[in-house]
Amino acid sequence: MSASTIRYSRRGLLKTAAATLPTWFLESSLAPALAAEKSPNARPRIALVGCGGMGQHDARLASKFGDVVAVCDVDAAHLAAAAEAFKGAEKFTDFRKVCDSSGVDVVINATPDHWHTLINLRAVRSGKDVYAEKPLTFSIDEGKRLVAAVKETDRILQDGSQQRSDPTFRLACELVRNGRLGRVERVRTWLPSGLHGGPFATAPVPPELDWDFWQGQTRPVDYVPERCHVKFRYWYDYSGGTMTDWGAHHNDIALWGLGKDHTGPVSAEGRPLVEPIPGGFTAPSQYEVKFVYADGVEHFCRSTSANTWGGGVQGRPGPGEKYHGVQFEGPEGWLYVTRGDKLEASDPDLISAPLPSGAERLYASDDHMANFFESVASRKPPICPVQIGHRSVSCCHVGVIALRLGRKVHWDPDAEQFADDAEANKYVAREQRQEYSYEML
């Protein structure tokens, strides 16, 4: 593919957004042209760890810029499917062997959330650059360790919060950052509801699955089909529910627009709106959380009864709700943004009026995977580096802890711990089974 072909693709991307994005923004904030594909001898060699649907999707995107030479999974069926999709890729079942391979330059980590950090740590310490699916970590302590490791090794890590590479979200954040709404008073994020079900029966472990390795650091339990693969995110053993799954997207945009993506809230209080069923999914399917920042800005995050994402409650938005997305509010009005190039405002002029010359402009990327490979080549930071990914998901983790405790918690974003709250601080890190702890690295 020629460089001109890639530039045309970028123009096509922005052309599809032109129906909602104002001309002044399109003309003034084009991201740099995507890098042309390199000769076969210069293309990065890519390993995919975690070969489910999202992993294979990421690898297909990455294959425009490099060659998928290795695939790794503890589920033999997923591994076989990936090997078939990426002909010639070597198969692995242990991520450590992939990360240590001299024939790999880049690791794509698309495993379940509870495995993200150990794989990311092993990869950067082995000299690999990493495209890491979100949420970046399972716990706040993991994020602190990963930030330190990326800094120490000087590797490139792109967090997979791809809304940062969507021009509609960037425009919304630029308008907010430049005072279009006046001083922001509050922000609202609506996240898809999770699954509400159970109790679930145990079943024989499928012969293709290494269930013990899949569980990893978590407490060992009998195999339950609803715990594994796509539905893992609704169990606190492996994830934080949609608060961390979709919160890593929309709460990230809230922090970006507020200019707080290197810090976090100072308090959070929340409650489940539906209690989990004993023996079923443990992360609440519906909930609400209120964050407060040091300058008094309030951030209301709640699940919405209207989902555009499979698996949750379906229907129209309830009173005061919107489909999942982000809304910024100030004395001059409100802005609402979500996927599908959808940007709305209380007054259309809030969007259509150009920003003045000298206005703050944000990092421009229109293709998240391409931005990662540009950073791999240039060694310049990607649009969503490890520090930002850590802070964005830390906000979500604080919300999860407030939900689990059912009370208000006070968070110190500088010290990255809760103030005088031993019960809350127990959730900053997690216990690990020894054979799958940091010692295995």
pLDDT tens for the chain, 441 residues long, are 333 223 334 454 455 555 679 989 988 876 665 554 555 558 999 999 999 999 999 999 999 999 999 999 999 999 999 999 999 999 999 999 999 999 999 999 999 999 999 999 999 999 999 999 999 999 999 999 999 999 999 999 999 999 999 999 999 999 999 999 999 999 999 999 999 999 999 999 999 999 999 999 999 999 999 999 999 999 999 999 999 999 999 999 999 999 999 999 999 999 999 999 999 999 999 999 999 999 999 999 999 876 544 444 445 566 666 789 999 999 999 999 999 999 999 999 999 999 999 999 999 999 999 999 999 999 999 999 999 999 999 999 999 999 999 999 999 999 999 999 999 999 999 999 999 999 999
pLDDT given at position 312 = 44
Q: Delimit the CATH 3.40.50.720 region(s) of the chain.
A: 3-164
What is the predicted pLDDT for the residue at 256?
A: 98
| 333-338 sheet: strands from edge to edge | 342-345, 333-338, 325-330, 186-192, 298-304, 287-292, 267-272, 409-412, 417-418
Assess contact for 46 and 68: CB atoms under 8 A: yes
Question: What's the pLDDT score for residue 8?
Answer: 30
Fold classification of 3-164 (topology level)? Rossmann fold (3.40.50)
| 326, 188 Cβ separation under 8 angstroms | yes
CA 104/CA 250 separation, integer angstroms: 33
What's residue 294's pLDDT?
A: 98
Contact between 128 and 105 (Cβ < 8 Å) = yes
Question: Is 295:271 a contact under the CB 8 Å cutoff?
Answer: no
The neighbour count for residue 416, using CB atoms within 10 Å, is 16
Residues forming CATH 3.30.360.10 domain(s) in the chain? 166-363+385-440
What local confidence, expressed as pLDDT, does residue 28 receive? Answer: 80
- CATH number, domain 166-363+385-440: 3.30.360.10
Q: In what order do the strands lie in the sheet with 45-49?
A: 90-92, 67-72, 45-49, 106-109, 129-132, 157-159
Nearest CA among 320, 182, 183, 301 for reference residue 248: 301
pLDDT of residue 367: 97
Query: What are the backbone angles phi and psi of residue 408, rounded to the nearest 5°?
Result: -75, 140
